[in-house]
Amino acid sequence: MNLLALAWGSLLNRRFAVVLTICTIALSIGLLVLVEQLRAEVRQGFYRSVSGTDLIVGARTAPVQLLLYSVFGIGDATNNISFQTYRELSEVREVAWAVPMALGDSHRGFRVVGTSSVFFDHFQYGNRQPLHLAEGRVFDDLFEVVVGHRVARQLGYSVGDQIVLAHGTGRVSLQQHDDHPFTISGILAPTATPVDQQLFISLAAHQAIHIGWESGMQRPGAGIDADAARERAEELEPQSITSIMLGLTSRAAVFGLQRRINDYRAEALTAVMPGITLQELWRITGLAEQILRVVAGLVVLAGLLGMLTVLLTTLNERRREMAILRANGARPVQIAGLLLFEAGLIAAAGIAAGLLLALGVQFMAAPWLLEHYGVHVGVSLPELGVWQVLGGIWLAGLLIALVPALLAYRRTLADGMQVRS
């Protein structure tokens, strides 16, 4: 208790330098913990975004790119695949269900997905959780749309509202499908996946609003009015789609069917398994993660060296304080122990503040990551490995404090009472 009181009084007497040292350590620890937390949470968020889908098929491209634009809405497809290919793949013996997806439109920065009602029956996320509607129903009329939870919440939509879709996937679009307004028929329950940021229409509706847009811009008088489109709804079939999600009757058939699709002669296709492709994504980003870890480690080292600098700088100023302690019966080892105890308190305070800082930044960054990338990042305590690293950093702080502690140990009472000019 006396040691704690002495250390606390000494730290208060030098509170400005001590607070700066704690802030330096806290910033370095915060960066280290934040890198590890975001890395783990982002990976988990990506993995829970799609579940139960065995293969994703698209035009010939890089597997990671196909996964990103099909599931996460990041980037755009370089090419489409024919609707006839979708028909043929859906009739393959090993395929239990096939979900077509047509991309290319948006609404106020949120992506629009043309699909079929099969999507709501078979798409799963997390631990094979199915989609549920919080309000309304799946689109029935040609010009009805189902919106994700975040779309409805952020834009203040409810069932029955009318909206206009835009051509293109940019956040700002000057080309609107304003001749075909859509009515919101349903709002999905929250999933904390990219689905929350998407709007879903039928393939027939996707085809209807793009009649006359073959050149990328609407040709005057080439479109079709809403009533005529409803009458021809059964005839409206897209010539091409962006990608297909496949669920198989047996997981054992995945590799064989993937090889057959990649060798498909009618057109160049790429079939990817979501889980394996995500692992490939982590291998690509692994170098960046290691660089961030090294940078964070160097920042932590700089923070500990800053603590050493403060201890050494104040050591000479505390000569008389140490001499008085020696005169009152304190032994050299006790003086050294006092410095080590102070260093331990400073390091522990810096680690605790850094941990709180990292969790706070993670809490504030979670909505931004969900809004821009559709990846849910939860706020949780670090894993065991991170706690072990933090413990190692605290021990490193004590080891660094051994330098001023040994210097204080060697000082004598006579040296402390000397007046130096």
Residue 117 and residue 238 share a domain:
yes
C-alpha 2/C-alpha 15 separation (Å) is 19
pLDDT 10s digits, 134-154? 999 999 888 899 999 989 998
123 in the same domain as 67? yes
Strand ranges in 68-154 using DSSP code E only, listed in sequence order: 81-82, 95-107, 110-115, 124-125, 129-130, 133-136, 144-147
Whether residue 23 is found in the same domain as residue 69: no
Residues 293 and 357 in one domain: yes
277 domain residue, yes or no: no
Clarify whether residues 88 and 230 are in a common domain: yes
Decide: 236 and 83 in contact? Cβ < 8 Å.
no
Domain with 367, as residue range(s), is 2-46+285-417
Contact in structure between 389 and 88 (CB atoms under 8 Å): no
Total domains present in the chain: 2
87 within some domain = yes
Helices 15-47 and 384-410 pack at an angle, to 10 degrees, of: 160
Mind listing the pLDDT tens digit for each residue in 358-411? 888 888 877 777 666 656 666 777 888 888 888 988 998 888 888 877 777 776
What's the pTM? 0.72
Query: How far is Cα 397 from Cα 402, in angstroms, rounded to an integer?
Result: 9
Query: Residue 154 falls within a domain, yes or no?
Result: yes
Q: Evaluate whether residue 94 is within a structural domain.
A: yes
Kindly state whether residue 278 falls inside one of the protein's structural domains. Answer: no
pLDDT in tens, 319-332: 667 767 766 777 77
User: Which of the listed residues 242, 272, 302 is the one where a domain comes to its end?
Assistant: 272
DSSP-derived 3-state class of residue 114: strand
Does residue 279 belong to any structural domain of this protein?
A: no
- pLDDT category of residue 415 using cuts at 50, 70 and 90: low
Quote the distance between the C-alpha of residue 147 and its chain's center: 22
The CA distances from residue 128 to 120, 125, 294, 401, in Å, are 13, 5, 36, 52
